[in-house]
Amino acid sequence: MTSSPAVAVRELRKEYGAFEALRGVSFEIAAGETFALLGPNGAGKSTTIEILEGYRDRSGGEASVLGVDPHRGRLDWKARIGIVLQSSGEAGNVSVREQLTHFARFYPNPRDVEEVIAAVGLADKAKTRIKNLSGGQRRRVDVALGVIGRPELLFLDEPTTGFDPEARRDFWELIRGLKREGTTILLTTHYLDEAAQLSDRVAVIASGRLIDIGDVDSIGGADARVPIVRWRDQNGQARSERTDAPAAVIARLTAELGGEPRDLEVIRPSLEDIYLDLVREATEAEALGQPGAGSAR
């Protein structure tokens, strides 16, 4: 028997006067899945997240989070979710350990405070007052507060902003550990490598519409993953050819030119390349007054 989705959204809409921030967004997130919601600034990601967290009312459509309409979620429902907001709150005049110990008391089955402090890389700052931490360290406190309650569903809105590369990778290991424990995770991030590393599926939103959704390895469709051979011809003009057989194209060009082409490279599109193409196509369609673009499925 298939379990109910952790998150289900149907034709979600949000209007601010004449402005439509969300225009019929639909998706589901399975229990235990890590799901990334991607899109440029102003696309509607944060609005979607805030509706699902219960912070913002929707104008239309349906939403279910852990089986509850987030607009009607009570304290027992809120205790089942963890939230890491896009920006930090005010720096407290308490230590990292004191802050986490205080918040742990709000939950029926919290994580061990010392384990959480170590997991976010703040073991040597446990006694430091939060107001004296750097921006990146305060961000780690935000993450610690989001996971201290052992949530069933964790919202991560741009969680690694301000992290250095090593800290980001430590954070990824923390998220993988939560996933192994069965935590459902909804992630927004501008780091496409982060989405590729952590997510089971991704959805791309632009101008308030969902333009594509699928597994990390299938988003954008098969054609978007066909390698591209790039080179300069004898006149120095940049040329490119998309092909499933790049070696054959290189061999042909080498024979035609009597040697390897200048500035030859083979590009295998990454998630970032595919994402940028999807957003560009959607933006162009929007400018032409078309209802949408992409292959949302």
| 81 and 202 together in one domain | yes
Range of the domain at 122: 7-215
3-state secondary structure 227-286: CEEEEECCCCCEEEEECCCHHHHHHHHHHHHCCCCEEEEEECCCHHHHHHHHHHHHHHHH
pLDDT at 2: 53
Q: Identify the CA nearest to 52 among candidates 177, 171, 188, 147.
A: 188
Q: Are residues 211 and 231 in the same domain?
A: no
Let me know whether 234 and 102 are in one domain: no
Check whether residue 114 and residue 234 sit in a common domain.
no
Contact between 230 and 265 (Cβ < 8 Å): yes
User: At 14, which helix (H) or strand (E)?
Assistant: strand 7-16
Q: What is the reported pLDDT for 294?
A: 45
Q: How confident is the model at residue 1 (pLDDT cuts 50, 70, 90)?
A: very low
Pair 139, 23 in one domain: yes
23 and 133 fall within a common domain: yes
CA gap 286, 211 in Å, rounded? 12
CATH number at residue 129: 3.40.50.300
Distances (CA, A) of 252 to 225, 226, 243: 22, 18, 13
% of the chain at pLDDT higher than 90 = 60
- Residues 203-256 pLDDT 10s: 999 999 999 999 988 888 888 888 999 999 888 899 999 998 999 999 999 998
Q: Of the candidates 186, 215, 244, which is a domain's last residue? A: 215
Domains contained in the chain, number: 2
**pLDDT for res 134:** 83
Reported as a pLDDT band with limits 50, 70 and 90, residue 290 is low
One domain for residues 52 and 103: yes
Same structural domain, 204 and 243:
no
pLDDT at 102 exceeding the cut of 50: yes
188-214 tens-digit pLDDT: 988 899 999 999 999 999 999 999 999
pLDDT (0 to 100) of residue 231: 93
